[in-house]
Amino acid sequence: MVMISDNFKTMLRIVGVFFIIILTDIHSDDRLPTLPSKVENQRKTIDIFAKALYWYTSETLDWAFTLKSDQNFVQTSYKTFSFDWSPGFSVGFRYNMEHDKWDTQASYTRFQSKATDHASGSVTPAFLAARLSLLEPFSTGKARLNLHYNIFDWDLGRNFLVGKQFFLRPSIGLRGGWINQNIYSDWTIPHFLDLFLFSASENLKQRFHGVGPKGGISGKYRIGNIQRHSFNFIGQFELGYLWGHWSIKDKYIDNLSTVIYVKTLDRNFGSLVLHSFMGFEWDCKTEQDRYYFRLKFGYEIEDWLNHCQIFSDASGSQNNDLILQGLNFGLHFDF
């Protein structure tokens, strides 16, 4: 049976909240006209925006394991990375058309995250290049993972008023870019052969790039207005399908002049991406409605299904999700 991840369940709950609000708002006023006739007036404008991100990364990846033996049993402990919260940013623009109330927008998102871990005792590397050295187990091991996320988005959408205070914007578009992960590890055996300190290092790289279509729906529920200020509850759900290419290389080197290269066969297949956002918006209009300022704040989750394709000699092919989630604070300026 296929198990649905907790993050995917959270995304479904977010979508469910919007459908409940839609139904409530629609049935609250049976005199509403048809959808197209109730679209707000829209003039031709350009929206420039910048977003500050503060995300947390989740990815299950075993980089080593330790063995602790006793007379009656052997205990195995797998070592995994633990990420910290990290900042990022997104910039872009949006063009609102007068014709039939369509709009289009493009953006670029950059995010970097790091994770570290260490182990001591009887430490065995999880990746193949270090295992092929035949010098395990090591006495100490430490590793760090650097993640680089660079994604471009473009979409085309149209706003509809589906309730007294509720707007929906279905959209279609494209998503593409690259996500690189570098894993650096160091190993030591103190007093190897009682002559010197043995040391080794390993560098494993996973390179991913892909492009493909996406589609989704965003919503805005107007909570209230104070003069030229409006306050809204906003949300978004998107599904993307990227044709992706994975390249994985592993290099080991030690102070015995041993060099080992391992290259995994490149992988090409479709990659599903789920994205959801929920938050609040403050909209401020200047006199004569010539300029608009918007502040958006909320929480988002992005799940790259089966993104980690690194092969571990300890637990086999990973096939684990890369999950990015956290705070999103955006400043928009319309003119």
Tokens found for residue 20? 């409940």
pLDDT confidence band for 283 (50 / 70 / 90) = very high
H helices of the chain, where? 6-27, 128-131
Identify whether the C-beta of residue 208 lies closer than 8 Å to the C-beta of residue 310. no
pLDDT confidence band for 168 (50 / 70 / 90) = very high
What does each C-alpha distance from 282 to 137, 175, 279 come to in angstroms? 58, 28, 11
pLDDT confidence band for 1 (50 / 70 / 90) = very low
Tokens found for residue 265? 């066969």
Identify whether the C-beta of residue 325 lies closer than 8 Å to the C-beta of residue 300. yes
Q: Is 24 helix (H, G, I), strand (E, B) or coil?
A: helix
Q: Is the pLDDT at 186 greater than 50, yes or no?
A: yes
- CA nearest neighbour of 187 among 237, 252, 234: 252
DSSP state of 130: H
Q: What is the pTM of this model?
A: 0.85
If one counts every other C-beta atom within 10 angstroms of the C-beta of residue 199, the result is 17
If one counts every other C-beta atom within 10 angstroms of the C-beta of residue 49, the result is 18
Contacts of 230 (CB under 8 A, 6+ apart): 222, 224, 282, 283
- CA nearest neighbour of 134 among 124, 142, 143: 124
Placement of tokens 């996320």 in the chain = 149
Q: Is 178 helix (H, G, I), strand (E, B) or coil?
A: strand
- Which has more confidence, 17 or 202? 202
Placement of tokens 């995010």 in the chain = 111
Identify the pLDDT of residue 194: 57
Range of lowest pLDDT (7-16, 118-127, 157-166): 7-16
Alpha carbons 140 and 192: distance in angstroms, whole number: 13
Identify the pLDDT of residue 101: 80
Residue range 16-38: mean pLDDT, rounded: 45
- Which has more confidence, 14 or 195? 195
Identify the pLDDT of residue 312: 79
Range of lowest pLDDT (29-43, 53-67, 112-126, 212-226): 29-43
Alpha carbons 160 and 36: distance in angstroms, whole number: 7
Upstream peptide bond of 213 is cis (omega within 30 degrees of 0): no
Alpha carbons 10 and 175: distance in angstroms, whole number: 22
- The percentage of the chain sitting over the pLDDT mark of 90, rounded to a whole number, equals 59
Identify the pLDDT of residue 17: 54
Identify the pLDDT of residue 275: 98
pLDDT confidence band for 9 (50 / 70 / 90) = low
| 22 beta partners | none
Alpha carbons 294 and 316: distance in angstroms, whole number: 48
Q: Is the pLDDT at 36 greater than 80, yes or no?
A: no
pLDDT confidence band for 5 (50 / 70 / 90) = low
Alpha carbons 188 and 200: distance in angstroms, whole number: 6
For 209-256, write each residue's pLDDT tens digit.
999 999 999 999 999 998 889 999 999 999 999 999 999 999 999 988
DSSP state of 72: S
Identify whether the C-beta of residue 189 lies closer than 8 Å to the C-beta of residue 195. no
Q: Which domains does the chain have, with CATH numbers?
A: 6-334 (2.40.128)
Q: Is the pLDDT at 126 greater than 70, yes or no?
A: yes
| b/e map 8-21, b = 16+ CB within 10 Å | bebbeebeeebeeb
Identify whether the C-beta of residue 295 lies closer than 8 Å to the C-beta of residue 279. no
Identify the pLDDT of residue 13: 60
Q: Is the pLDDT at 95 greater than 80, yes or no?
A: yes
